[in-house]
Structure 1
Amino acid sequence: MTSSRLLTAYQPAGDSPFPPAWWFVPARLAHTAVVGTGPDITILLTGWEVWPDSLGIRLSVFRRQVHEGRGSGTDGLRFTMVLADGRRVSTLDPDLGDAPGRQAEQPSLRLRGGSGGLFHHGIELHMSQLPPQGPLTLITEWPAEEVPEARTEFDGTALRAAAEAALEIWPDLPSAPEQEVLGWMTTGPQEIMAQPQRWLLPEPQRRQAVERDRADWEGMGAEGWADPEVVRARLAAGADPDDPQGRPLHRAAAVGAPEAVRELAGVVSDVDQADDEGATALWEAVCHGAEENAAILLAAGADAWTPRVSRWSPGRLALTTRLAPLFAGSAPPGARIADAELAAFRAADAQAAVFGEELHTEGISVAFVSGVDATEAVRRLDADLHRPGSEEYDPYDDWDQSTRVVGVTAVPGGCVLVQPAFYGLNTDAWLAALTSGGGRAYGVYFNPKGGTFGTFATDGRAVQSEEIGLPPGEEEPEGHWTHRFWLWDSGERLWNGSELAYACDQAGLSVDESRAVAGPPDWWAEIREDSALLAD
């Protein structure tokens, strides 16, 4: 004996928490945009799914380093949509359902599904209504991974219009008086998403932002270190202030409240205990621009002038930052910054400021070439120079073509080449070709899967490849220090600009406008399809 079930006609629920995936194929709009970045995190919007009455948002989270103890909770990843009419909807909103006072016109934004992995997560969000016409702003934030609030604006009018292209699969199905809308379990991305509020519980019974009574430092996140009462409660519960894994004083010095630092500094066995890299809590405070925390550590007896990493001490490091006045009076003669060295820091900062921090770099490769003009660089690549810079070019239209198209801009003393969606300008073969017959070049590739990589070439030969943008260690070249790869102070560090300034400096160039990288270029050049540069 067999039985069967018949799908009934789609009946719009008005504000369904899930898309009508049984009845429609959504209109899919390709769209790639960086919507959030942190020291070890890049978050990209990768496309839209537009249903008849609602909106799907696809995102990807890329890590280059996994930190133990940074999970979900209230300091996890969260997204907010600001609609053109002023309404806001967030993944942190409680699931009100039919709760009293719920406004029917308020949409919901929920995690629908995705995929999980150590260094990559796919995230699928669903907004239960289409956006109104006008701008649609996505706000991204992840406190646990030091991803600050970032706002990205999209065209809500275009998204709303795309709903007309959603394809109905069963237009002739019979109607039914009642219709059950089912959701499905999500796996993977929920482990990194911040947990929504729970509206059903009275305020005192809601889960605390950070567990206070644990006898360890797990799950603290930025919110925990920012709350001295949490630190005190953990210590009272038996958490070890000298924990060699959690390094509580290091974390508090970097991102915590001054009172939390003072509390821990008073109970650790050694205020100058070092991590595996040799860094102390004072080092972390300097690197993060935490002036008040640094002052508390100094008052607690922290050593400012013993070298900790390479030849650098926390105090000498501070003399190159806005924290200099706090340390200058106690600086011994050997720790002071020479005028020539200080000028190098200032020049590096000035070049980084030209590029800024808002410049989109994910997935691009850039080559700074000195001693070679733009026309000669194109000739050495055996490319055809036939696209004016004013002509619109979409590198995502044709992937095969995007591997061959290069933007070229003349700058004093040389030229800058950019590939918007390929890594060719960081390869040995391309850089060797660009410097054949003389000149020097530095190519850099911002890998969207994590990491920033550079290659130096001169006189037709690639000489050195390296990863850049990470805090320098014992064996790092001096240029990594000069370009502030160690500086996590959001008020000073120009994230994208620092790496580009370093590459520019290594090539021996000085660039006076960001257009050389941001575009539009002076010309588009196209590598020939049979070029040896494209061989695997």
Structure 2
Amino acid sequence: MVVTKEAGWVGLSWYDWSDLGEIRARLDSGADPHADLWHEGPPLHLAAEYGSPDVVAELARRVGDVDTPYEGRSALWRAVFAHRRDNALALVAAGADPWRPMTGGWSPGRLSLAGPNPGLFFPFPRDKPSLSEAENAAVVEAERLIEALGDFEYEGLGLVCVAGVTAAEAARRLGATVAEGAGIDGVLDGPYPGERAGLVAATDVPGGCVVSQRRGHEVTSADVINRLSAGTVCYAMFADPKSGNLGYGSRHGVVEERDAYPGGGLVSPDSSSDEVLTAFLYQGEAVAYCCAYVGLRLTDARPVLGPPDIWLHLPPHD
């Protein structure tokens, strides 16, 4: 029989990371505090993101180095990224270093300056870099954009954000015709508004335009987004009721990112500084993420929810 390092952690739920008695009992029974659990990271990293301060403190006491990185990030980095102020303080009390640069060059301490707890590690050391002017501007814009869009239901939505292109130019690139009158009403009144009818909405916004489909993923096809991104960049999302939000980025007519999770707060060891900041600022804000990805500065949700500037009928595309 093969015994894996994960063996002592089998059957653990996400809620158990806040149960000190459960975690302590597993550790006392031989569960490995350094195991890579389900490719999510060591127990301390998971507790930092999903658990409680007392569990974090217990695990920190059992590991050799509280700053051991997993995929380029320490447990403290993950606590800060997940906005877990309580767990971050528990890790610092256990000796974690807030100023060690990690993914994208961001240390946990500098990253905290862009989040809801900018005073977490004050006083800020004079010899450590703070946020740049551009990064501060990105933080301010994220707060403005998220508030401007507000909360709304977008399940089933197909959305494309296009930089530097007007709605009229988007129509031309797609070979679409303007739809008017009864043809629109008949489609929108049906059980699947816009779906299978090639009916999409297009609206000019500061920085470019938004092309959307109330229910359907036609606008997120490679053919559509590559046409729209010629000479520029666009980001598309389909809010799939079964699979969640699926994102697609296209630049200069070529898809460069597919099956991503906009607003999912995902970063990788090779994420750039800007990618880390964007993922951090727009966690749980999929529509705002799509807009920010290409620099659209919406002032409200009308370009997404309607009524749009123009309705378009798409021709058949590959």
TM-score by length of 2: 0.81
Distance change >3 Å, CA 216–CA 399, structure 1 → 2: same
Q: Which residue of 1 aligns with 2:153?
A: 360
- CA-to-aligned-CA distance 1:4-54 (integer Å, 9 cap, x gap): xxxxxxxxxxxxxxxxxxxxxxxxxxxxxxxxxxxxxxxxxxxxxxxxxxx
| Cα offset, 1:353, TM superposition | 3.1
CA contact under 8 A between 2:162 and 2:233: conserved in structure 1? yes
Q: Which residue of 1 aligns with 2:51?
A: 256
Match for residue 290 of structure 1 among 66, 84, 108? 84
Q: Which residue of 2 aligns with 1:54?
A: none
Q: Which residue of 2 aligns with 1:339?
A: 133
Distance change >3 Å, CA 268–CA 370, structure 1 → 2: closer
| Structure 1 residue runs of 4 or more that deviate by more than 6 Å after TM superposition | none
Match for residue 387 of structure 1 among 160, 180, 186? 180
CA contact under 8 A between 2:224 and 2:317: conserved in structure 1? no
State the distance in 2 between where 1:371 and 1:249 align: 44
- CA-to-aligned-CA distance 1:277-300 (integer Å, 9 cap, x gap): 122111121122111211111011
Secondary structure of 1:418's match? strand
Q: Radius of gyration: which is bigger?
A: 1
Letter in 2 for 1:526: H
| Cα offset, 1:222, TM superposition | 3.0
Secondary structure of 1:417's match? strand
Distance change >3 Å, CA 262–CA 442, structure 1 → 2: same
Secondary structure of 1:520's match? coil
> Counting helix residues as a fraction of each chain, which structure ranks higher?
2
Letter in 2 for 1:233: A
User: RMSD of the alignment, in Å?
Assistant: 3.1
Q: Which residue of 2 aligns with 1:430?
A: 224
State the distance in 2 between where 1:294 and 1:463 align: 38
Q: Percent identity?
A: 33
State the distance in 2 between where 1:267 and 1:434 align: 53
| Cα offset, 1:371, TM superposition | 4.2
Q: Which residue of 1 aligns with 2:300?
A: 513
CA contact under 8 A between 2:176 and 2:313: conserved in structure 1? yes
- CA-to-aligned-CA distance 1:496-530 (integer Å, 9 cap, x gap): 24422324xx1x43211111112232332112xxx
CA contact under 8 A between 2:99 and 2:128: conserved in structure 1? no
- CA-to-aligned-CA distance 1:133-192 (integer Å, 9 cap, x gap): xxxxxxxxxxxxxxxxxxxxxxxxxxxxxxxxxxxxxxxxxxxxxxxxxxxxxxxxxxxx
| Cα offset, 1:228, TM superposition | 1.4
Q: Which residue of 2 aligns with 1:473?
A: 268
Instruction: Give the total of aligned pairs.
Output: 303
State the distance in 2 between where 1:479 and 1:501 align: 15
Distance change >3 Å, CA 396–CA 311, structure 1 → 2: farther
Q: Which residue of 2 aligns with 1:523?
A: 310
Q: Which residue of 2 aligns with 1:233?
A: 25
| Cα offset, 1:373, TM superposition | 3.3
Letter in 2 for 1:349: E
CA contact under 8 A between 1:395 and 1:421: conserved in structure 2? no
Q: Does 1:415 align with 2:205?
A: no
Q: Which residue of 1 aligns with 2:67?
A: 272
Letter in 2 for 1:260: V
- CA-to-aligned-CA distance 1:229-249 (integer Å, 9 cap, x gap): 222222222222222336221
Q: Does 1:243 align with 2:35?
A: yes
State the distance in 1 between where 2:193 and 2:77 align: 47
CA contact under 8 A between 2:203 and 2:309: conserved in structure 1? yes
State the distance in 1 between where 2:107 and 2:307 align: 43
Secondary structure of 1:443's match? strand
Secondary structure of 1:310's match? helix
CA contact under 8 A between 2:103 and 2:270: conserved in structure 1? no
State the distance in 1 between where 2:193 and 2:115 align: 45
Structure 2: runs of 5 or more not aligned: 1-5
State the distance in 1 between where 2:25 and 2:164 align: 62
CA contact under 8 A between 1:355 and 1:500: conserved in structure 2? no
